[in-house]
Amino acid sequence: MEEQVEAEEEARHHRLVVTVHNEDEGGEPFRIPGEPETHVEKIIEKFYADLGTTRQEGDRLYCLANGDDVFSHAHQHLAEYAEHVCTALEWGFSRPTGGA
């Protein structure tokens, strides 16, 4: 138990990595690093830049663990988001006509 608390405290002071699975294209997931104080919006922007496109109407970006919509948390700091919403920081992405 004490090790878990120490690991969580250490994570607050180190880079966090968001893993995004492109359900339309498959392949290796995107890994996007951020600081605890980075806004989720910046991670979203970096994902779209890495994908080589812009956000389109109907895009789905969600926490794989609970299905929660990522876009609605754009204003949150990454550490806060990871602590309260999407602990594993693992997301799924699909366009309206793709994905599972």
Residue 96 pLDDT: 87
Q: Flag whether 99 is in a domain.
A: no
Domain span at residue 50 reads 2-94
Place of tokens 């990595």: 17
Contact 80, 89 (CB under 8 A): no
Q: Flag whether 63 is in a domain.
A: yes
> CB 95: neighbour CB atoms within 10 A?
16
Structural domain total, the chain? 1
pTM score: 0.83
| 12-28 average pLDDT score | 88
CATH number reported for the structural domain that contains residue 53 in this entry: 3.10.20.90
The answer, yes or no, to whether residue 100 has pLDDT greater than 90, is: no
